Amino acid sequence: MIGRMVEIEPPPSNAGTARLLVQCADRPGIVAAVSRFLYEHGANIVQADQYSSAGGYGRFFMRSEFELGGLDVPSEELERLFEDQVAPRFDMDWRISLSDRRPRVGILVSRSDHCLLDLLWRWRRGELPIEIPLVISNHDRLRGDVESFGVPFRHLSVTPDTKGEQEREVLEQLRETEVDLVVMARYMQILSGAFIEQYPSRVINIHHSFLPAFAGADPYGRAFERGVKIIGATAHYATEELDEGPIIEQDVVRVSHRDTREDLVRHGREVERSVLARAVQWHIEDRVFVHGHKTVVFR
């Protein structure tokens, strides 16, 4: 007896995932409403994080990642339905982002290359799913390094007399390349409030964590003279208040009396680049919620 061959249809291809980000005043029923809405439209939740701030009914934060393959409506229609049916009931600040969309990241840098090259290396290896349409610097010394990665380099020099004009040109370059996120990879210029307003909670800065101690020039030299026992770094969103923005990530490494000033600098560079990379990674994965001067980070 010869059996009849049956064609088996391949399973539907994975249409990717999306993330639903919610922030609102805490009250009963939020998780149930969001989960029920996604379930009713065929969304399979693959990851969910939530947090409510202390003090009775505080502030509620939720990140839900779900598969798009089973949706009964296009993702654009899902957004409209959520806006009509769920968000108004809880007065939500919310958005849906598609996981397969690569954010466009513009990098600002001055002379130091350690944070810049680390980001470019992670991008080239596919560890950071982003697009880098350009790197802007107020010095020309890193042009060859950047262009070796195939990334456009823009040199926009600045003096105290030309700072306003140079910043406007930086903004224009970022707009023309449709940048979503700005990363200050040791960019040693202070951005104005007008600049920050164009990218609210979308400018990430990195600096050593000695502040407010050892501010200004040669912080590692003065830290060495004081015999510090830890070296750290802080990544935060830039605001009008210098180095006072909401903190995304921090880390430290221990040092000892055996370490030279050069050792401290080397340790500092290592922790700076790892902290900055994590901050960028968490931002593009929609893991960071900003509320006032603080952040909630779902790692």
d(CA 17, CA 209): 36
C-alpha span between 12 and 123 (Å, rounded)? 30
Distances from the Cα of 63 to the Cα of 41, 46, 160, angstroms: 18, 11, 43
Distance CA 52, CA 56 (A): 9
Residue 173 Cα distances to 81, 205, 227, angstroms: 36, 19, 43
What's the CA angle centered on 15, arms 10 and 19, to 5 degrees? 150
Contact call for residues 108 and 182 (beta carbons, < 8 A): yes
| Beta-strand pair 230-237/203-208 | antiparallel
Cα separation of 23 and 71, whole Å?
23
Active site residues: 243
